[in-house]
Structure formats: C-alpha cells, structure tokens
Structure 1
Amino acid sequence: MNVAQTTDMTPETLFSPANLWQSWLDVEVALAHAQADLGIIPDWAAEGIAAVANVETLGLEALEAEAARSHAPINALTRVVAARAGPAGAYVHWGATTQNVMQTGRLLLMRRAQGALRAHLAGAVDCLAGLADSHAATPMMGRTNRRHALPISFGFKVAGWIEELDRAADRIVGMEKRVFVLPFGGAVGAMHAFEGRGRAISRRMEQDLNLGALLVPGRAVNDLFADYVVQLALLATTFERIATELYALMSEEIGEIAEVQGAGTVGSSTMPHKVNPKLVVHVMAMAADLRAAAAPAMQGALTLHEGDAAANHLVVRVLDRVCPLAWTLARAFETLCKTVRPLPDRMLVNLSDSPAYAASERLMMLLAPILGHIQAHDILQQMLADAPPSRDALAARVVALPALRGAISADAVTEALDTRTYLGESERIALEAAIFGRDLAARLRAGVSGAQEPQEGRTGNEAVAEIGAESGIGAGAG
C-alpha cells in the first residue's frame, strides 16, 4: 500500500492512524531507495525495507503499541520495520530525523486532499458555468447596500462568482509549488549525517515523492503551512460569500433562489409548512470555521531557532482540522451549486415591484444630452424622493418638463423605464463567464492527481443525508 495510490481515502480517513503510518513508511522507503542509488546503503537493504514497509504487513497494533511505549512514533516505526526486515532493518531511517519523516508524510496526505479539493471546485465551477449560460438573459434586480439598484441578469451575478472562484483557484494552485516541498535535512536542516551527499539524496527523494526542493530544509519552516491554511481560508471566504448571498436570495421576502432538496425533506418539527434551506447553511458554518483557522496557523509560523516543538504541535493540530474540513467544505459547496434552483418568475415580480425607478439611470442618460447630466439627475431624484409614482405617471411628468420642449416622447420615456430590458452588458458578460468557467474547471481537473471524481446524479435528499450524517445538519431546525 502507498498513500499516493490509495483510492478509498475520504476527509474522515485522511489523517487516520493507518494513513499516517503508511505515509511515514512511504517516506522511509523513498529515503532508502535514494541512499541505495547513491551507494550509501546496499541495494538489498532498500529492497528489504520496501518489502515490509506496509501497515498491513507490519500491523497497526504493533506500530501503535511500540509508539505508546516509546512516545516516539518514528523511532517506533524504525524498530518495528527493523524487526520485520531482518538484516535490511539495520539501514532504515539512515541519517534522518523524526520531524523529517512526519512532516513529509503529512505533506503527502495534504496533497491527496488538495487533489480532491480541486476536483470538487472544478465540479462547482462547471455547475455555475451552466447557470451563467442558461440564465445569461434572465432579468433580476441588482442590489447594492441591501437596496434595489439596477436590473441585471442572474447569469451576470453568477459570472461574478465564477471570476471570484478563479482568483481563489489561482491562489490555492499557486501555493502548491511553495507548500509541497521536501523538508528533509536531518536534525537541524544542514544534512549533517549524509557526508556531503544530502543534496543528492534530497533530489532523488523529491523525484520519488513528487515534491519540490528547499535550499534550507529545516525544521522551522512552518510559514509554508501557514501559507497553505491562509489560502484555504481565503477560498472558504469566497465559498461563504457566495453561500451567504444565496441564503439571502432564499429568504421569504426575496425568494429568488431555492434548494432542490427532494420530496420528504422536513424543515421543522413544529411547523409543517416550513422547508428550511439545508445545504447553504452548512456551507456557511464550515466556511466560517475554516476561516478562523488562519490565525493559529500564522501563530505556528513563529518558530524559534532551528526547531520549535511547541510551534510544530500547534501546526499539526491546525492541519488535522483544516485539511479534512477544506475537503468536506469543497464537496459540500459543489453539492450546493448542483442543488441551486433559480426562480425567474419571482425575480421578475421583484423587478416589477419598483417600476418607476429601477431603470431611472437609463432615463437620466436619455435626458442628459438635453438638460445636462447634473440637472437630469436632480430632476429625477426630486420626482422620486417622496412617493415614487407609477411608471406611466413618471413618464407623463417627465414629458411635461418645459425644458424638454417636447423633444422626448412618452413612449421613449416609458421604454427607458422598462426594467426588463435594461440589463447593460449582463448577457455578454454571463456568456463569456460560462466559457471561462468551463475552461477553469478543465484546468483544475487537468492538475488533479489521484483525486476522487465528484459523485454524479445525487438527489437533494441524498446530499442532505450525507452532509447531515457528517455534522448533524438538523441542528437549529425550525
């Protein structure tokens, strides 16, 4: 077994004891092969180590029992491998130190989670691209400062989400070259035990484990883990912002978005009429939790000298929470995007609720060549200040303005105030975003290594049940 080849890994099992032990064994095998290639240890010793470096072969109970006795997991691993590998066991962990192995193993598991996260992000972006495409011209009210602003299309709104997710994807992919590097430099990072061949050993291990290089592979380089967590926290911020907006659009008063939850979903144990949003609030809660991890991760980067156990323990605690959480969050966000149902009829009703002023900017620009921009603005603002008139009444008042001298007809004013046709370049932007989003999803998938494919065809009920089982989604019902 090799953690890079394991196919059944999940957020819940990512840092399971078996996977952690196996990741450390994989590092020991890479070290042995690198040293055998350089003639530092015999070839037969590397092969003997590799032959037994499997949790199933060694026995998880044996590894954990030895670790419980020594309070030193890698020392325990070395002893159990040595006992099982015969003469080859004398060469295991040759010149390495505990943190080299534990940190590198954890990076291998983090990279597995990263691949899955990218796959789920690709699935979410694909879904949003479909919404941007199909609703490129679906009119709705744009809102600024929680007030009606100008009409847009729903596809335009989704286009903004796609572009924001692209920036988030750029950050999490960009940090991979900084984070997934080999921190393997011996006791203090200067490769003392390798007799001048430390760099050569590292190069071979980097190739074997598919990790980048560090000039100073020390034990105090926790800033790379802080980088990892901060980028995930920013991704969570984007997820949360989109989910929060969806949640607001699901409110009774707006009602422009619904979750497709499937028949039989219960919203409240006391109010039979209620079917509460389920998935969106779960995403919001998880995203807030992940955002909060940025501060302790940065605290863990404040290491002292060439090694700092206190900082390292803090970093491990943060990573143990953040990696599975980020994976689960990305999966839940993809599911949310698949269950979002726009309600165009309700969007049109809300758009019609303010017929006199939602397109007032277009009317102002119609008047501006005759009255000047400032005067046109002030006249309309005054007309709309107290009790906004109906569209026809406003048109009549505008046409009667002496300063216009009959230059603009009532039909032209009425047409200018039609909110359904004043969408700016929403449709073009949405259609371009749909193309861009599908390309982004393809690029994310192209970089995925060993990630599980998102599950297709799940119903809303199945999605709710899965997420509910993970975190008690029923909490707060009603």
Structure 2
Amino acid sequence: MTDLFWPGDERAGELMSEAALLEAMVRVEAAWLDALVDAGLAPAAGDSDLTAVVTAADVDVLARAAESGGNPVIPLVQMLRSRVGIDAARWLHRGLTSQDVLDTALVLAVRDVLDRLLDELRSQVIALSILAERHAATPMVGRTLTQHAVPTTFGAVAAAWLDGIIDAAELVVDARTLLPAQLGGAVGTLAATTELAALRELPDPAFVASEVATIAGETLGLRVHRPWHTARVPLTRTADALVTCTDAWGHVATDVATLSRTEIAELAEPAGTGRGGSSTMPHKHNPVLSVLVRRAALAAPALGSTMHLASALTGDQRPDGAWHTEWSTLRTLGRRAVVAASQTTELLQGLHVDAERMAATLASSAEDVVAERLGVAELLDAPFDPDPATYLGITIDLVAGAVERGHTFLEENA
C-alpha cells in the first residue's frame, strides 16, 4: 500500500489493510464453524475450508455492499454461504453476530501490528543501548526551555530516550498479551449457541456454549474472555500503547531535529540517496525522518482520543455509531505507528553524533553552564572547578541503569 497523503505508508505493508481485515474475518468464521463441529453442535459435514472461498479480489464488492447493513460482515456471510456446500452454508455464522466477527478480526489485524512494533522496538532498544554506552562520557550542553543550562552527556540523553521507548514497549507487550476474542452472539449472552446445545440435548448447554467460544478463541490464538461488545478496554488499551509509542518516538525526533539545526549541528540523520533534499535549495540536508516521526506523534493523540470517545459513547448491548467509528481510526493509528516505528529504527541505527561539535558548544558556553556549580562552591566556601566536562552528576549511573533495563527487556521479550 502507498498513500500520497502519508509519505512512507508503504513501510506498513499490508498491515491493517482491507485485504488483511477480510482475511481475518474469514478466519474468525472458520474458527467458529470448526468449534461448532468440535462441540457436537454442527454435523461434521458442516465443516468446510474457507481459506480461499473469499479473497482480496472480493474487497471492492464487499465494501460497496457493506453500506446496506452498516458493516462488511453481513455481505461477507452472504458471499461465503453462496460459495460453500449446503451443510457448511447452513451452519456458517450460526450463533455469532456481526460485531463478534469484526471485533475479533480487528484484534487479529492489530495483533500483527503489535508484533511488528515489538520487532522495531527491540531494534531501537539495541541501537539506543549502544549509543548510550558509547557516549556515556561524551559531554554536551544540557538545555532547558531552549536555553543552555548545565552540562550533561549525550549518553544521558540517549538513556532518557531509551527509558521512554522501553516504557512504551512494555505497554505494547501488555496490550499484545491481553488481546481477547469477541464471541458473544446477539447481545453477548451466547443465547443461540446455548439453545443449540439444549436442542441437541447436550448436558449443561451453557457450558457447551462457553466451550465453543473457548475453542474458537484458542484456535485463533487469542485470550478467552467474556464478551466485551460495550466494554472497549481491549481496543482503548491497544490505542493507548500505540500513542505512547509515538510519544516516545516524537521525543527522539524532536531532539534530533533540534540538534541537527545548522547552527547547532551536534547530530545528523543517516544519509541516503535523495534523502533530505529540497526542491529549490541544493545545499539542504533536511532531517526528514525526524520530521515524519514528529508528524505521527502530533497526529496520534487525536486518534487515541477518538477511540476513547467511541468507548464512552458505547451504549446498550451493541453500540450505534460509536463501534463503527473505531474501525478506520484503529487502522490509521496502527499503520501510522508502524511507519513511525520503522523510521525511528532507521534514524537511531544510522544517527551521527558529532562529539567534537558538542565539546566545542560546551566550551563556548563554559562560564554560563558552570554558574550553578560556582553557586554550590560559594555556598560551602569550597574550591571551584571551572571545567564543565567534570560537572556531570550521576550521568554514568543514568546510562548504566537505562542500559541494564534495556538488556532485561530484551531478555524477557526475545
């Protein structure tokens, strides 16, 4: 996929695409049909391989037909039933509702997004750990409210980036682990499935209905959970993790963009053919990766807010409109997060650190950046050391702590 409105969109490949969602919906229908057979509610003849029955070639037809019922599951079920045998058609989708299929498909699609993000985040943790250790003693000017403050090291700066990225990564791990299937029937009570079990004269029909949901969820590799038609935490939690990632990447990108300004030039993005060029000014080397990552960080919070707004306005046992708002919002947020993740990884792996420039900037502001140190010395009538490179506080410990945390994260999420 490509998107002229969002340069770099192709980095997300087919994640959260229409074809991916369609494939996931078919997987949900197939898993439920198999579970009905396994539980003895549907005859073995009703089982059917749905893998190639509906394909990406059907997306356009289904998208156009979706308007009539308000969602794509209704025409999908009709299409599947028209293309499979009579027994499979009779039992297909029996006991499910459209929201079950679409919610679970969304979860499957976003799980792939989270898996890709974890790959990128692991790469970022490695790159930042290397940068932080390599530059643990590389002195530079610390800046607060845009002004020179006191000395720090670039290693400490990288360590702060690292902590932020691990914070975000831990939320991604939690969101990934807690993704549930949505299998509840019309109002979340599995009434039709329970009734089927009762009419089959199976013992404990309610248990059988729950077991069908368990079998289908486990087939899809998802957590088995009570129906959450109107309790949308699984999706808002995931959206929050995505937004927190873009926050962390935006922090990195903002620092890199600032420190790569011509008059500062302490950092530089990795070079690439045609990368950072201008249509009219051939001398420019724009920090394009940082610009695009900041774009994602600026746009993501509004998408996350939309997910929470939809959750808050989810009423009755099945929502009207709020649920429908989530689909494209989550897709956009997921794809943009993957794009920003890829760009951030590239940025960190190729980041150029100009230690000499950092030292020169620090030396040019030496008198100012040690003013605090002078005040401390005067307070105790102690000797004053004017060398800013020796006024670094606990920067070594900050780096060591962040790097150790990074190693632990990598070990726990190998």
TM-score interval, smaller chain: 0.7 to 0.9
Residue 172 of structure 2: SS of its match in structure 1?
helix
2:23 aligns to what? 22
Residue 341 of structure 1: how far off its partner (Å): 0.8
1:273 aligns to what? 283
* Pair 1:323-2:334 in alignment: yes
2:95 aligns to what? 95
* Pair 1:303-2:304 in alignment: no
Task: Within 5 Å, give how 1:224-239 maps onto structure 2.
Answer: 224-239=234-249
Could you tell me how far apart the structure 1 residues matched to 2:62 and 2:397 are? 64
Residue 356 of structure 1: SS of its match in structure 2?
helix
Listed as ranges, the gaps of 5+ residues in structure 2 are 1-9, 195-205
Residue 420 of structure 1: how far off its partner (Å): 1.7
Paired letter, 1:103: D
Residue 64 of structure 1: how far off its partner (Å): 5.2
Listed as ranges, the gaps of 5+ residues in structure 1 are 1-8, 371-407, 447-478
Distance 1:338-1:78 versus aligned 2 partners, 3 A rule: same
Paired letter, 2:209: G
Could you tell me how far apart the structure 2 residues matched to 1:174 and 1:263 are? 38
Distance 1:438-1:356 versus aligned 2 partners, 3 A rule: same
Paired letter, 2:190: M
Distance 1:62-1:125 versus aligned 2 partners, 3 A rule: closer
Could you tell me how far apart the structure 1 residues matched to 2:252 and 2:288 are? 15
Residue 439 of structure 1: SS of its match in structure 2?
helix
Could you tell me how far apart the structure 1 residues matched to 2:17 and 2:363 are? 55
Residue 177 of structure 1: how far off its partner (Å): 4.2
2:36 aligns to what? 35
Mapped contact 1:357–1:417 kept (Cα < 8 A): no
Task: Pick from 261, 266, 271 the counterpart of residue 271 of structure 2.
Answer: 261
Mapped contact 2:11–2:342 kept (Cα < 8 A): no
Residue 68 of structure 1: how far off its partner (Å): 4.3
Distance 1:243-1:264 versus aligned 2 partners, 3 A rule: closer
Residue 61 of structure 1: how far off its partner (Å): 4.5
Mapped contact 1:226–1:300 kept (Cα < 8 A): no
Could you tell me how far apart the structure 1 residues matched to 2:103 and 2:11 are? 20
Residue 57 of structure 1: how far off its partner (Å): 4.0
1:340 aligns to what? 351
Task: Within 5 Å, give how 1:452-467 maps onto structure 2.
Answer: none
Could you tell me how far apart the structure 1 residues matched to 2:169 and 2:180 are? 20
Paired letter, 2:40: G
Paired letter, 1:285: R
Distance 1:364-1:240 versus aligned 2 partners, 3 A rule: same
1:361 aligns to what? 372
Paired letter, 2:390: T
Residue 262 of structure 1: how far off its partner (Å): 3.5
Residue 62 of structure 1: how far off its partner (Å): 5.4
Paired letter, 1:147: Q
Paired letter, 1:11: A
1:81 aligns to what? 80
Structure 1 stretch 143-152 or stretch 341-350: which is displaced more? 143-152
Q: Aligned pair count? A: 388
Distance 1:422-1:111 versus aligned 2 partners, 3 A rule: same
Residue 139 of structure 1: how far off its partner (Å): 0.7
Task: Within 5 Å, give how 1:48-447 maps onto structure 2.
Answer: 49=48, 51=49, 53-54=50-51, 56-61=52-57, 65=61, 68=64, 71-72=68-69, 73-86=72-85, 87-178=87-178, 180-195=179-194, 196=206, 197-215=208-226, 217-262=227-272, 265=275, 267-301=277-311, 302-370=313-381, 413=384, 416-444=385-413, 446=414
Residue 348 of structure 1: how far off its partner (Å): 0.5
Paired letter, 2:398: I
Could you tell me how far apart the structure 1 residues matched to 2:167 and 2:253 are? 17
Paired letter, 1:112: D
Could you tell me how far apart the structure 1 residues matched to 2:266 and 2:59 are? 56
Distance 1:212-1:88 versus aligned 2 partners, 3 A rule: same
Residue 37 of structure 1: how far off its partner (Å): 1.7
Paired letter, 2:236: A
Could you tell me how far apart the structure 2 residues matched to 1:183 and 1:176 are? 15
CA RMSD, aligned part only? 2.3
Structure 1 stretch 33-42 or stretch 218-227: which is displaced more? 218-227
Structure 1 stretch 225-234 or stretch 292-301: which is displaced more? 225-234
Residue 17 of structure 1: how far off its partner (Å): 3.2
Residue 143 of structure 1: SS of its match in structure 2?
strand
Please give the TM-score of this superposition, normalised by the length of structure 1.
0.76
2:201 aligns to what? none
Residue 442 of structure 1: how far off its partner (Å): 4.2
Q: Larger Rg: 1 or 2?
A: 1
Identity %: 28
Could you tell me how far apart the structure 2 residues matched to 1:278 and 1:66 are? 38
Distance 1:362-1:67 versus aligned 2 partners, 3 A rule: closer
Residue 364 of structure 1: how far off its partner (Å): 3.5
Structure 1 stretch 266-275 or stretch 96-105: which is displaced more? 266-275
Structure 1 stretch 70-79 or stretch 136-145: which is displaced more? 70-79
Could you tell me how far apart the structure 2 residues matched to 1:66 and 1:324 are? 22
1:6 aligns to what? none
Deviations 1:378-417 (A, max 9, x none): xxxxxxxxxxxxxxxxxxxxxxxxxxxxxx7xxx54xx11
Residue 69 of structure 1: how far off its partner (Å): 5.1
Residue 282 of structure 1: how far off its partner (Å): 0.8
* Pair 1:13-2:14 in alignment: yes
Could you tell me how far apart the structure 1 residues matched to 2:81 and 2:398 are? 63
